Amino acid sequence: MQNKYNVIFVMYEGTRIKIHLKIVTTKISLTWDMNQKKLLYILLLLFISINVYAGDYTKEKHALAQRLAKTTLADIAENDYDVQYVKFNLNLTNISTTITGDVTTRARVTNSSLTKYVFELNNDLTIDSLKLNGVLSTVTTSGTVRSVVLSTPLSYGSVFNAEIFYHGEPASGTGLFGLGLVQANFPSGTQILYTLSDPYTASDWWPSKQSLTDKIDSADIWVTIPTGTEAGSNGLLQKVVTIDSSHIQYQWKTRYPIDYYLLSVAVAPYRDYSSYMHFTGSTDSMLIQNFFFDTTTFVPAYKANFDSVGMMVNYLSTLYGRYPFYKEKYGMCFSNLNGGMENQTMTTIGVTETPLIAHELGHQWFGDHVTYSSWGDIWLSEGFASYTEQLFVEHFWSKAAAYDYRTVRYNNVLSYTNGSVYVTDTNNTSRVFDIRLTYYKGAAVVHMLRFIAPNDSMFFQVLKNYQQQYAFGLANTDSLKKMAESVYGQNLDTFFNQWIYGQGYPTFSIKWNQKGSNVTLQLNQTASDPSVTKLFATPLEIQLSSSSGDTVVRVYNDEASQLYNFTWDKTIDSIAIDPNNWILNKVGTISEDTTLGVQQLKKNTIRVYPNPSNDNWQVDNLQNGSVIILTNVQGQIIWKERVNASSITIPCKDLANGSYFLQVDIDGSTLLRQLIRR
Segment 151-189, tens digit of pLDDT: 999 999 999 999 999 999 999 988 777 899 999 999 999
Beta-strand relationship, 265-268 and 191-195: antiparallel
Q: What is the DSSP letter of 622?
A: P
CA distances from 646 to 23, 328, 621 (A): 20, 68, 5
Domain boundaries for CATH 1.10.390.10 within the chain: 367-501
CA–chain centroid gap for 511, Å, is 35
Question: What is the reported pLDDT for 633?
Answer: 64
| CATH superfamily entry for domain 367-501 | Neutral Protease Domain 2 (1.10.390.10)
What CA–CA distance (Å, rounded) separates 401 from 390? 9
Instruction: Check whether 42 has a pLDDT greater than 60.
Output: no
CATH number of the 77-353 domain? 2.60.40.1730
Question: What is the reported pLDDT for 5?
Answer: 30
Q: Which amino acid is at 312?
A: M
pLDDT in tens, 433-451: 999 999 999 999 999 999 9
A 10 A CB-CB count for 38 gives 8
- CATH architecture, range 607-677: Sandwich (2.60)
Q: Which amino acid is at 90?
A: L
Instruction: Check whether 110 has a pLDDT greater than 80.
Output: yes
pLDDT in tens, 291-315: 999 988 898 999 899 999 999 999 9
Average pLDDT over residues 463-484: 98
pLDDT in tens, 570-623: 999 999 999 999 999 999 999 999 988 775 444 445 778 788 888 888 887 787
Which helix (H) or strand (E) covers residue 82, if one does?
Answer: strand 81-91
pLDDT in tens, 332-361: 999 999 999 999 999 999 999 999 999 999
Where residue 673 falls among pLDDT bands split at 50, 70, 90?
confident
Strand ranges inside 482-560, DSSP E: 506-515, 518-527, 538-546, 549-557
pLDDT in tens, 16-38: 333 333 333 333 333 333 334 33
Instruction: Check whether 276 has a pLDDT greater than 70.
Output: yes
Strand ranges inside 558-646, DSSP E: 561-567, 574-577, 586-592, 607-609, 616-620, 626-632, 637-643
335 versus 669: which is more confidently predicted? 335
Strand ranges inside 172-319, DSSP E: 181-185, 191-195, 218-226, 230-233, 236-244, 247-254, 265-268, 271-278, 285-292
Instruction: Check whether 61 has a pLDDT greater than 50.
Output: no
Cβ 529 vs Cβ 417: under 8 Å: yes
| CATH superfamily entry for domain 3-61+506-592 | Aminopeptidase N, middle-beta domain (2.60.40.1840)
Across the chain, which distance is largest between two alpha carbons, in Å? 97
Reference 276, options 331, 221, 340; nearest CA is: 331
Where residue 72 falls among pLDDT bands split at 50, 70, 90?
low
Average pLDDT over residues 457-484: 98
Which helix (H) or strand (E) covers residue 444, if one does?
Answer: helix 442-451
Domain boundaries for CATH 2.60.40.3080 within the chain: 607-677
Cβ 512 vs Cβ 592: under 8 Å: yes
Instruction: Check whether 13 has a pLDDT greater than 50.
Output: no
Domain boundaries for CATH 2.60.40.1730 within the chain: 77-353
pLDDT in tens, 402-412: 999 999 999 99
Question: What is the reported pLDDT for 46?
Answer: 33
